[in-house]
Structure 1
């Protein structure tokens, strides 16, 4: 496996598991992950939120950890990265308002570099205009946005543990999908894990 340089978009109230687990998995197998946030510098933190279902009509939100930003958003040259990861939570709803972030997203899509997005992460892909004709899944409440953006929205299983690969794009509905989402993304990245 050749190690890849991966960009990850984070922001306050990113979903805790959806930022922590992929960051740790990708780092564990030897990739370099630069977690960046508009308006924050390396060493700054973003607040995370834990989303879970406890019987209400939608998920509840509990305070998570603080996640450390480890690279300067303003110094990102998207061309120097091999792949992009977009965690979910509430962060994508306002990160998608940043035009530089959307330009970076378009670079990855236009260059057909690997992209992994989970939960609300596809909101950024929709805002960047890169979902037309793509097969995608996300948190079901994001499905209408994906469809309006021209994507074919796939089926989310009962446990939200499935993932979907369409060429360079790997999407999943929520953190229970981490094993499948990261497995499929590692394949797209060309990573091999030796037993």
Structure 2
């Protein structure tokens, strides 16, 4: 069974944690949801971001999400892919040196990586987007450019693939985001 490392944290976007985690488990992956400084059985608080016609998204309390694996137990070489949730968590997760080292491993070994919305902030902090084409929540676009990446402005329900990397602007893209990640993981779904 293939293993996926799922990076999330307090005030991550609710849908961007709950939905991909469940979708990946549904197709049979062993998904380890982790957060620095937390262990298996701890929970994180999530936030629901919605698009209601304002200049930016609104934020409401989400669910508590129980982590199913301890961050300190992660052996990065054991994983076949990495998924990074968005929301507000990436702004502080990117300050953790071990998080950045984990991310760099997936790029140096060319393993599949999926990042959505503000999750791309972790990629820019890890220094892995230089020369890459990718998307993110539009407010993260300047960070992509400053980090040497080529920001792709795509519809909110789209996904962009560049080599081993799939990115999407926000949770409305889950169907295309997960479909493209599954392709990178070598999965085929027959209906």
Question: In which range does the TM-score fall when normalised by the shorter chain?
Answer: over 0.9
- Between the aligned partners of 2:184 and 2:14, the Cα distance in structure 1 is 24
Moved more, 106-115 or 148-157: 148-157
Aligned positions, number: 191
**Native 8 Å contact 1:163 1:171 kept in 2:** yes
- Between the aligned partners of 1:174 and 1:21, the Cα distance in structure 2 is 12
Aligned counterpart in structure 2 of residue 185 of structure 1, from 156, 163, 181 = 181
Q: TM-score, normalised by structure 2?
A: 0.98
Q: TM-score, normalised by structure 1?
A: 0.96
Matched residue, 2:164:
168
SS in 1 for 2:60: strand
- The alpha carbon displacement at 1:193 in A equals 1.1
Question: What does 1:108-123 correspond to in 2, within 5 Å?
Answer: 108-123=106-121
Question: What does 1:103-142 correspond to in 2, within 5 Å?
Answer: 103-142=101-140
Matched residue, 1:153:
151
- Between the aligned partners of 1:194 and 1:155, the Cα distance in structure 2 is 31
Question: What does 1:1-195 correspond to in 2, within 5 Å?
Answer: 3-157=1-155, 160-195=156-191
Aligned-residue Cα RMSD (Å) equals 0.7
SS in 1 for 2:100: helix
Deviating beyond 4 angstroms after TM superposition, the runs of 4 or more aligned structure 1 residues are: none
Spell out, residue by residue over 1:105-144, the C-alpha distance to the aligned partner (whole angstroms, 9 max, x if none): 0000111100000000010000000001111000000000
